[in-house]
Structures are given as structure tokens and as C-alpha cells.
Structure 1
Amino acid sequence: MSGNESAGTAAGTALADGPGGETMVRVADLHRSYGTGAAAVHALRGVSFTVPRGELVALKGRSGSGKTTLLNLVGGLDTPDSGTVTVDGTDLSTLGENGLLALRRDRIGFVFQSFGLIPILSAAENVGVPMRLRRTAAREREERVELLLALVGLADHAAQRPGELSGGQQQRVSIARALANRPALLIADEPTGQLDAETGLAVMELLRAVVRAEGVTALVATHDAQLLGLADRVIELSDGGITET
């Protein structure tokens, strides 16, 4: 572990419960703006909340309310202007780029609206990519891929490429890929945005099921009211602030 990562763990423990504790995500007085002066866009204005370990928490709000900005900050893909984000006991502000890369690789799984699968790879190969990057042994990787494809209901589609799968099936592959390295936190940004209502509901139900089966915490942004009912808790964003929890 690098010095930055060690410092991050120590500082994060002071703010959260630490690995194995009750809080997975702690956001404190988070601000993020883009641009300067009169043209500045205030994406987040003093946002604070916690996400207990093992819960599926939904973020709702209109386009431009700050959902994606918030997810990017929690996932270590962006840096706040002020405030802190603590994930699994680690204060992200104490991590250097290598520490953030390690956190995203080992502790956080991402599911995006656009699927983001590699077209020339099969479903199984796509799921295995994060483990290859982590240099997981081949046998362990193959067993994990088989288990995850079964978990998302695609055991019979392992050899198919993304272009041979439906939109819902592709999103299931992306969920399996996000779980490859056994993350503590799953972040999903409008994961059903490109799907029809029935398929979107099935994907959201799958997300809820994998939270239980894999023991992960999930933070999911969605504008679909039907899907919000599957969350343990809903946080509403409006104009960069929390209006309801």
C-alpha cells in the first residue's frame, strides 16, 4: 500500500466507520461548480448524506439536478471544489491518482447507461476484463465469470458478442462486469435509460437482487418513478441540493 493510500485509510476512518463498519458512503457539504463568474454552473451546493452498508439507494431528479456530478465525485472520477467524500472508510481527498485508480479498480463497480462493452469481445470476455487488469489467475477468473453470468441470467450467452445481444442483455453483462472484482460499492448512472419500461424494470430488479446476493452497496441514479420503489431509500436532488431523503 502506498503512503497516500495509507493516509487515506487513516483519515477516512476518522470520518466514517471504516471497512466493516455501518456506513459505506459519507458525503459532507459537497460543492462542485463548472466555469467561473456569471457563467458558472453550480452543479452541487452543500450536499450531505450517508449510505448504510448493504443498501440500494436511488438518486432522483431532473436532468441537470446534479445526479451524474454526484456519482462522479463518489466514484472518484471527479474532484469537489469543497467538502468530503468517504467510501468504505477512505476519504477520497487524501488519495493521489494511483490511490484513486486502485479504489476504482478494487472497491467500486460502475454501470453506465451506454453499457460500455467492448464490441469484439464475447460476453464472458467482457466480464473478465477487470480481472485481467488485476492479473487474477485464469482459473479463478473463469470461475468468477461463469458465476456472474449465471447470476445475471446469461449463462447460455457467454460466447455471444454485444452486437448479438439485446439492450437488456448487454446491460446485464455490464452489471456482471461491474461485479467482477467483488466491489464494496456499485455505482449506476441511469442504467435503464436506453431500455424499454419492462426491460428497465427487470434490470432494476436484478440490481436489487445482486445487492443482496453479492453483499454490495448500490447508489443508482434514475428518473423512472416505477424503479424508485425498488430502492431502500430515495434521495432527491434539485438545482444541486437535496430536497428530500
Structure 2
Amino acid sequence: MTDVMVSAEDVRRSFGSGPRAVHALRGVDFEVRRGELTALKGRSGSGKTTLLNLLGGLDAPTSGRIVLDGTDLAGLDEDGRLAMRRDRIGFVFQSFGLIPVLTAAENVGVPMRLRRMPAKERDERVRLLLALVGLADHADQRPAELSGGQQQRVAIARALANEPALVIADEPTGRLDSETGRAVMELLRAVVRSEGVTVLVATHDPALMELADRVVELADGRVVEGADRHR
């Protein structure tokens, strides 16, 4: 087993064509190592979200190659990409993305229902995940009854529902105050250690980058040479 969880090789992504085309990524070479928390930084418009969408199989590159956990995404049809996202990748978004009418426990259980996991097994894993993120006592509350930090913890628990190999988090602390944001980032750090999952997080907060094993910078659709650092 290679120590690289996901890699991008000369990845380019353009939107539109001709002189008005927008070149979001301009030949990105990038790796996320297994069992690490990698932070991707860059100003707005640098290409962070575009790269996350490509690495997570939500979009396809204009050119280049992406390999996730040994699988070349270009070799998958739409059903294969859907299965990859469902079974091998967890997503955490800035906007939390919770279903308002469902309780915290029901939100966490949604990915497992999609996999048709038996109810008893599903309920047990939901309990374990809510305990992991410190919300065992909030299982029956709906998102509107939770703070922003608690909602993001539910989103992290949901991302871990199907025991993914990779969790992708796009500005997960962007709507939180600095103290709550750091607590969420520390939770992601703990998840790497306790669950053995690989985490890739886009952030612009220097305080949060300090918790990462590795920091990679994007600028104008390219990885900045010499900006890749380890703790």
C-alpha cells in the first residue's frame, strides 16, 4: 500500500472556451499523504475549491490525472464516481449542509441509509460517532437547536459515517468564531489519530494551519513552489 492517499498530476481545469475561458487550475501537481491532516491555503480565487471538487470526484479535470486510494478517477463512469464518493470520501462544507427537518442522529445516519446498512448496525455507529464529536447528548436535536460549532460537529460525524479513506473539508470553520473554529480543527486533528482517516482541509486561517501536518499553498491555479511545509 502506497503512503499517498490522493494525487493530482498536471491537473488543469478551465471553464468556458476561447479568449474568455477561465483557467482555474493551471497544471497542479499535488499529493495528500495517508493518515495526515493536510491544509490547503490560498486567497479567494486561487483554485482551492476547484481542486477539492476534482480530488473528491465532484468534477472532472480538463486534463491531467487524479488517483484516489489507488483508483484512477478517469477510469470510472458516473456510477463508479458516485460509489467512490459514497463509500470512500466524506465531505464537510462551510455551510454545514445538514437537513433541517432531521435530528442530529438522523443527519449522521443518512449516508448509511444510502448504503442500506442494517438499522441496528447503523444506530450503533451513529451513537459512536456522536460520542466521538462530543454530541452524545444532542442526538435528538435538529440543526436549528444547535450552535454553529455543534452543527459542524454533526457534519463531521456524518462525513465519517461510512468509514471513508479521505475526508475533504472546504473552509469548515469559515462561519465560526475563532475559538469555535479552532475547536473544530482540533476535532479533525483528533479524527486523524483516532479513526486513521486522511483529512484534506482548505482554510485561510493561519492559526488553524498550525494544527496541520502539512501545508500546501495555491496561487493563481498553481501550487506555490517552496510553500509546501511539514510540522
Find 2:151's aligned residue among 157, 160, 170: 170
**Hey, what does 1:179 align to over in structure 2?**
160
Structure 1 CA distance for aligned equivalents of residues 32 and 204 of structure 2: 19
Give the whole-Å Cα distance in 2 for the aligned partners of 1:120 and 1:79: 32
1:205 corresponds, among 186, 190, 193, to: 186
Pick from 190, 201, 215: which aligns with 1:234?
Answer: 215
User: Number of matched residues?
Assistant: 226
Letter in structure 1 aligned against 2:131: A
Q: Which residue, 170, 173, 177 being the options, matches 1:189? A: 170
Distance 2:221 2:7 in 1: 17
The one-letter code sitting in structure 2 at the alignment partner of 1:168 is G
Q: Does 1:217 align with 2:176?
A: no
Q: 2:96 aligns with which of 115, 136, 145?
A: 115
Identical amino acids, percent of aligned pairs: 74
What is the distance in 2 between the residues matched to 1:150 and 1:186? 19
Over the residues paired in the alignment, what is the CA RMSD in angstroms? Answer: 0.6
Secondary structure (helix, strand or coil) at the match of 1:204 reads: helix
Cα deviation for residue 121 of structure 1 reads 0.5
SS in 1 for 2:5: strand
SS at match of 1:127: helix
Asked if 1:133 corresponds to 2:114, the answer is yes
**Secondary structure of the corresponding residue to residue 236 of structure 1:** strand
- For normalisation by structure 2, the TM-score amounts to 0.97
Q: Unaligned regions of 5+ residues in structure 1, if any? A: 1-19
> Are residues 1:73 and 2:48 paired?
no
List 4+ stretches of structure 1 deviating above 3 A: none
Matches within 5 A, 1:17-166: 20-166=1-147
Q: TM-score, normalised by structure 1?
A: 0.91
Offset, 1:21:
2.7
